[in-house]
Amino acid sequence: MTVLIRLGLGLALGFVILAPIVVGFVYEKSFDLYSLLNVFVLSMIWMGFCGVFSSFLNYMLPRKRAVAGEVVDDDSENTGTSSIKRHRISTSSAGTETTVNNNNSDISLGNNSGDDNHSGGGSSEVELQIMALGDGNPPDIDEDLHSRQLAVYGRETMRRLFASNVLVSGLQGLGAEIAKNLILAGVKSVTLHDEGTVELWDMSSNFIFSENDIGKNRALASVQKLQELNNAVVISTLTTQLTREHLSDFQAVVFTDISFERAIEFDDYCHSHQPPIAFIKAEVRGLFGSVFCDFGPEFTVFDVDGEEPHTGIIASISNDNPALVSCVDDERLEFQDGDLVVFSEVHGMTELNDGKPRKIKNARPYSFTLEEDTTNFGTYEKGGIVTQVKQPKVLNFKPLREALSDPGDFLLSDFSKFDRPPLLHLAFQALDRFISELKRFPVAGSEEDAQKLISICSSINESLGDGKLEDINPKLLRHFAFGARAVLNPMAAMFGGIVGQEVVKACSGKFHPLFQFFYFDSVESLPAEAPDSSDFNPLNSRYDAQISVFGSKLQKKLEDAVVFMVGSGALGCEFLKNLALMGVSCGNQGKLTITDDDVIEKSNLSRQFLFRDWNIGQAKSTVAASAAQAINPRLHVEALQNRVGPETENVFNDAFWENLSVVINALDNVNARLYVDQRCLYFQKSLLESGTLGAKCNTQMVIPHLTENYGASRDPPEKQAPMCTVHSFPHNIDHCLTWARSEFEGLLEKTPAEVNAFLSNPTEYASAMRNAGDAQARDNLERVLECLERERCETFQDCITWARLRFEDYFVNRVKQLIFTFPEDAATSTGAPFWSAPKRFPRPLQFSAADPGHLYFVMAASILRAETFGIPVPDWAKHPKKLVEAVDKVIVPEFQPQTNVKIVTDEKATSLSTASIDDAAVINELIAKIEQSQKSLPPGFRMKPIQFEKDDDTNYHMDLIAGLANMRARNYSIPEVDKLKAKFIAGRIIPAIATSTAMATGLVCLELYKVLDGEHKLEDYRNTFANLALPLFSMAEPVPPKVIKHRDMSWTVWDRWIIKDNPTLRELLQWLREKGLNAYSISCGSCLLYNSMFPRHRERMDKKVVDLAQEVAKVELPAYRRHLDVVVACEDDEDNDIDIPQISIYFR
């Protein structure tokens, strides 16, 4: 269709232009053969113009993914076909079916990453133009938008998602959460089905609806706000009764409000359909939830866990049956018995390099046994990489009809409730029968309805014969009955994450599906003191559903809560939505303070769902607060842009912290978490902590006096590669990218900043360098001198020269020097081969303008170099032929390795710079040269340091880093990576998806009910670790704090001893002595106020402690501070050290 439009417009415009001219020729009296020739030439021009104009229209006319009710005709040269079937999208309003073609073009753009291409010759020009200028066809994945999600799923999974059509039936809270997560993930289409209308009851759990929507169809009322989440997803509605035929339009169907009878009917159809349609039935009933999955009789999982294949570097292989393979102790092996592995780069025993997967056994941390006879193989010499081969897994799902009576193993979430899933399996069936018989849900607080449901459950249990349960737990079923009608927001958020992830698995084969039932409850969230039955009565408010579960007293506590939330990114957006729907801080006494110093970027939009593309560049906290108030106008929220830390204690002062009910962290870094944790410890405030990493999430409850604090246990620090490995002996792409990021920052940020520091104040800078007088100062001066003299650029050709010589230095000369210093046959001091694993022997590159990687490195490096010098970049810089001509002008000097070069090989070395006895003299000489070169600079000359920004694909930052890393990888025969993978590693991007974020916040808000109730015990709280990829849910009680005992006293890290009225030093010591504690040291900050070993300190005994701190420690006490903290070291009467709590001395 688009082709015809373009051709028609081109022909029409050409006709309008040429017709008068042709008519003039025809009617001219002197019309002859020459005139006829003119007409012919003009006709040819006309036809050419039509073609050119229609090509221009190819760029001018908008392209989009298909929407319901229309056919998108993409005439791009794409012959690839999707592995996902072509489907129809049903629109109830039109009552028709429209076909949408899924043509996923596999485009590899150099400026948007792609597979590295090492081909030479004529292909380089074409590829460079694509990389620099882009293609007429848009890329199939918006990497700016989906970068964090791509880090979890990869391109192939994303392409499958983009081709998937999903039905979500039931648009109460759970259905809305599922739809949100799928739309953010970027499926092709989501069809919303609901025959019901919006009620006030829905306001407790559905973030889409406002009170203005009451009375409207739920599906129709949802479309606009869900569409805002992702305009690339087709969203349509069905408002009439579903039939089985409707289901054939989808790869996956999700039902959140359906009877078992109808579910069995639909699932039978989906199970037997060719190809099968993934069927998911999910329910949230009060504090209880369930999920059932059926992905067909044979469903193939392509990647069961989403983890990168494990690898090892081989140290030796025996000629045995079976063979023993040992690996270097650089990193522990993660192999398991039964894994399949392949070998590569093995020297000597080359038979193993055939690419054949081989099974292993007896897996150990640094070795394993190979189930193969290598007796007659060649003798192992050196080298070799062993890599795990991930195997597909086929699952045979049972249809719901069979699974109800034979459910198999249930997926457990809480091992303290191992007997709970079989009971809930009966409870949900009993509820279904209750609704079928009475045409309504049980009434909250109705003992009669509860007994009716218990009776039905007992009847079902008795019918099971030998398989019946011994105890059906009437108390639990009573809670189940009371809350059966309510959809609670935290439960909807949690299950929305779980079910959303199951849909992604069904559509892509990525990650292991839930097989097949999952049940969950959080009855511990109920108030510790059971409410009266009248407390459950509806109040005709938006919180009636929540009140039906918790009662109106807890609802009042939620509304009056004073909450501090730190961070308003992905976790923060979900929390704000949850808090607004729960009514937290929505009462007259309530207040929610959120703070975040960050602004919205495009990459945030794929999971931080309160933000829209028109919010890019705005403050996160402000936009998020406004969006939350749109969900619930009663929310009392204040948005700040302050970083939480010591520097903002004037903003978040003592009065602020003391007034809080609870603190919620929504942070993405450990240091900020630790600071907030210390503040919560100090002011004895509950802290609800959570975090995500790809499909994984965790939650931790920090409750005063009940649990340990966040900082009490920490993950071990990440292992850092030794400096010499990164700079001279890399053996994986991570090492290459770490080096590339370091070089980028050194060349383009740190060195220009050093130049500017010198130019701003040459005398002061020179003095600082002389005072330092070390190797680092010498290196800084050498780099400044290079920039201002030897490598100073004045034209863009100078920048190209610099870039070409950098290539030669990095990838040719340095390697030549390295292998000259350490030849391939070099040995260590012990006689062992120097180039043994994990070291890889490098080879210098040979620059070729025909190699796109080489040429693109020069282009990116020269453009960025020009930016630092303020040199305009000419248009021809991105044109391959002209760039090659400029590169060819560069004279590359011959390199001769030197014999006296020292290369650091010590893995413990922390610097590559070596000190010298004549550093001072060299520094003086360098300063003199720099001062001389300054005289030739234009007035006011300054360089422009470039700060690395990973999320802007037009700035050439990642192009240069990927080029640096991949050229270095070629040196060392390390597999290269595309720009996107380079961005993940060098940009230290944390993989993130909406599903795990939603689940984590739902779990935290279930704990928030307990915190604000205020009466729960340690065993009621839960910490959680979950991995939606496996899936795995592990919930456990928090760890209690360590208790210290002394005499009849005991305390924990939560305790703080408070002394009022600013005592003297003598009074403080006496106060401690009365507790059997002998203080021998008192300090404030880093300053010692008192030590029993110093006689002069006895002169301070009658001074007030606060006055002493101001006098000795120079402590400043601003007006907002009311107390001073001191640390006291004590021992008991037996001279045993006793750790006592921090002491706070109040003086105001």
Residues designated as active site: 724
Q: Are 966 and 976 in contact (CB under 8 A)?
A: yes
Mention every residue, 6+ apart, whose C-beta is less than 8 A from residue 754.
780, 783, 784
Cα distances (angstroms) measured from residue 570 to each of 603, 641, 1068, 1094, 1124: 11, 16, 48, 54, 37
Q: Is 1125 left (phi over 0), alpha (psi -120 to 50) or beta?
A: beta
CA-nearest of 872, 1074, 984 to 153 is 984
Sheet holding 562-566, edge to edge: 637-640, 591-595, 562-566, 662-665, 687-693, 696-702, 1023-1027, 1032-1036
What is the distance in angstroms between the CA of the first residue and the CA of the last residue of the chain?
Answer: 78
Cα distances (angstroms) measured from residue 816 to each of 268, 739, 813, 842, 1116: 68, 18, 5, 9, 59
CA-nearest of 854, 849, 845 to 886 is 849
Cα distances (angstroms) measured from residue 1023 to each of 698, 711, 1019: 8, 15, 11
Cα distances (angstroms) measured from residue 939 to each of 759, 930, 942, 1091, 1129: 11, 16, 9, 59, 60
Q: Are 477 and 457 in contact (CB under 8 A)?
A: yes
Specify the residue for token string 């704990």: 1007
Q: How far is CA 799 from the centre of its chain?
A: 37
49 exposure class (CB count in 10 Å sphere: 0-12, 13-18, 19+): middle
451 exposure class (CB count in 10 Å sphere: 0-12, 13-18, 19+): middle
E strand map for 345-502? 358-361, 367-370, 385-389, 393-395
Mention every residue, 6+ apart, whose C-beta is less than 8 A from residue 803.
857, 858, 859, 861, 862, 865
Q: What is the DSSP string of 285-318?
A: EBTEEEEEEE--SSEEESBSS-PPPPEEEEEEE-
Question: How far is residue 367's CA from residue 866's CA, in Å, rounded to a whole number?
Answer: 51
Amino acid at 994: A
Helix (H, G, I), strand (E, B) or coil at 1106: helix
CA-nearest of 1001, 1027, 148, 999 to 571 is 1001
Cα distances (angstroms) measured from residue 534 to each of 246, 449, 525, 1117: 44, 15, 19, 52
Q: Are 113 and 979 in contact (CB under 8 A)?
A: yes
CA-nearest of 301, 300, 241, 244 to 273 is 244
Question: How far is residue 852's CA from residue 962's CA, in Å, rounded to a whole number?
Answer: 13
Go through 389-409 and write b for each residue having 16 or more CB atoms within 10 A of its CB, e for each that does not: ebeeeebebbbbeebbeebee
Would the CA dihedral through 82, 85, 91, 95 be positive or negative? positive
Both tokens of residue 979? 């720009």
Helix (H, G, I), strand (E, B) or coil at 74: coil
Question: How far is residue 874's CA from residue 866's CA, in Å, rounded to a whole number?
Answer: 10
Torsion of CA 805, 808, 811, 815, to 10 degrees: -130
Q: Residue 222 carries which DSSP code?
A: H
Q: Is 113 left (phi over 0), alpha (psi -120 to 50) or beta?
A: left
